[in-house]
Amino acid sequence: MDWFEERLWPDWAQRIRVREVLYRSTTAHQDLIVFESPAWGRVLALDGVVQTTTMDEFVYHEMLVHVPLLAHGHAEEVLIVGGGDGGCLREVLRHPGVRRVTQVEIDASVIELCKRFLPSLSDGAFDDPRAEIVIADGAAFARETARTFDVAIVDSTDPLGPGEVLFSEAFYRDLRARLRPGGVMTTQCGNPVMRPDELENALARQRAAGFALVDYYFAAVPTYVGGNMALGFATDDLESRRLDAADLAARGVPAGLRYYTPEMHVASFAHPAWLVGRTGL
Ligand code: SAM
């Protein structure tokens, strides 16, 4: 294979030159490939869609994690749904106040293969004593668990195959019921330039699930083709969305970040006019 071609969109594809295919298989849930590329380092793709690369993963993982954690301010119990590559887990564990991170991933092979072929993403996080890994469907876990959380992070694949259930109103309703007072949920909501309906549907379902505040913010991830990636932000604590950069900085931003800053946190919630027209936000 000289080129990996992503066919997420019917009329537009991205190609990434392949230096070496490191692993390829069909797990019980999805097709999985890891390859080395000159342009983006190591790349993980599931069902033919780029999930993460070692060169630009920090953008997505820092924004999906530090925005809710700093908006909350004193999270102790954190839930990650999906995130099998370990990037979100690594970022959550940078917060010393977090006592336990429960990660619910449907496909154990994603974790094992990412530890083996993309070790820089988890960077040892799966072995952290504060990390509890549950191999299960995130929707079933949210429906059945009695546990409660300060922050819930949904790092899912796109609404295709096993990931589809993680974009449902029922799932959002269950997750909201598991959030403690002041709780915040963030969700991977796709690329609105190509699929504005994906973002619109996710926001509408989060509102229908009862969240008092539903908003979204952006992260510029080069290998998520089509422009800025939209991330959903939902909470019943309106104050968590009103913080300015000084408030956020005062809460203690972890050292060593390469994309997240308090100023980026605030600015990332600015929306283009065309999307305000479509989402009302
Ligand atoms: N950053 C990527 C993106 O934005 O598309 C997502 C990365 S992560 C690899 C996505 C993870 O979600 C995968 O490990 C996949 O196995 C997991 N996943 C998909 N459906 C799931 C479900 N129903 N419950 C739990 N995990 C799920």
CATH of the domain at 131: 3.40.50.150
**Can you give the pLDDT at residue 232?**
98
pLDDT at 82: 97
Q: What DSSP element (H or E) covers 15?
A: strand 12-17
Helix (H) or strand (E) segment spanning residue 6: strand 3-9
- 135 and 271 belong to one structural domain: yes
What whole-number distance in Å separates Cα of residue 151 and Cα of residue 147?
A: 12
Same domain, 123 and 232: yes
Minimum CA distance residue for ligand 1 atom 2? 51
Answer yes or no: do 142 and 21 share one domain. no
Q: What is the residue-wise DSSP string for 119-185?
A: HHHHTTGGG-TTEEEEES-HHHHHHH----EEEEEEE---SSGGGGGGGSHHHHHHHHHHEEEEEEE
Same domain, 30 and 135: no
**Nearest atom in ligand 1 to 44's CA:** 9
Residue in 141, 202, 204 with CA at minimum distance from that of residue 177 = 141
Same domain, 137 and 11: no
Exposed / middle / buried, residue 192 (Cβ in 10 Å: 0-12, 13-18, 19+): buried
Rounded CA-CA distance 92/47 in Å is 27
Question: Rounded CA gap, 70 and 80, in Å?
Answer: 16
Q: Which domain holds residue 27?
A: 3-53
Q: Are residues 33 and 106 in the same domain?
A: no
Q: Which residues contact 59 (CB under 8 A, 6 or more apart)?
A: 219, 220, 221, 222, 258, 259
CATH for 9: 2.30.140.10
In this prediction, residue 194 carries a pLDDT of 84
Of 169, 229, 160, the C-alpha closest to 199 is 229
Closest CA to 96 of 79, 81, 74, 72: 74
Q: Residue 152: which of 176, 169, 130 has the closest Cα?
A: 176
> Of these residues, 155, 174, 244, 247, which one is catalytic?
155
DSSP code at position 236:
S
| Pair 152, 176 in one domain | yes
Query: Sign of torsion, CA 189 194 198 204?
Result: positive
Residues with CB under 6 A from ligand 1: 46, 51-52, 60, 81-85, 104-107, 110, 137-139, 155-158, 162-163, 165-166, 188
Query: Under a CB-based contact definition with an 8 Å cutoff, are residues 6 and 225 in contact?
Result: yes
- The pLDDT value given to residue 8: 82
What is the chain's length? 281
Atom of ligand 1 nearest to the CA of 51: 2
Backbone angles phi, psi at 134, to 5 degrees: -120, 125
Q: For residues 61 and 30, state if they share a domain.
A: no
**CA of 163, closest atom in ligand 1:** 20
- Predicted confidence pLDDT, tens digits, the chain (281 residues): 999 999 888 888 999 999 999 999 987 888 999 999 999 999 999 999 999 999 999 999 999 999 999 999 999 999 999 999 999 999 999 999 999 999 999 999 999 999 999 999 999 999 999 999 999 999 999 999 999 999 999 999 888 788 899 999 999 999 999 999 999 999 999 999 988 999 999 999 999 999 999 999 999 999 998 889 999 999 999 999 999 999 999 999 999 999 999 999 999 999 999 999 888 88
pLDDT, position 176 = 98
b/e string for 60-71 if b means 16 or more Cβ within 10 A? Answer: bbbbbbbbbbbb
Tell me the CA end-to-end span of the chain in Å, nearest whole number. 43
Same domain, 195 and 273: yes
- Based on the residue annotation, tell me whether 247 is a catalytic residue of this protein: no
pLDDT at residue 10 in the model: 86
Domain count across the chain: 2
Judge if 190 and 273 occupy the same domain: yes
Check: CB of residue 184 under 8 Å from CB of residue 234.
yes
45 and 61, same domain (yes or no): no
**In this structure, what token pair is assigned to residue 249?**
């900085």
Q: Is the CB of residue 149 less than 8 Å from the CB of residue 79?
A: yes
Measured CA to CA, the distance from residue 267 to residue 159 in angstroms comes to 27
18 Cα–ligand 1 center, Å: 23
Residues 49 and 63 in one domain: no
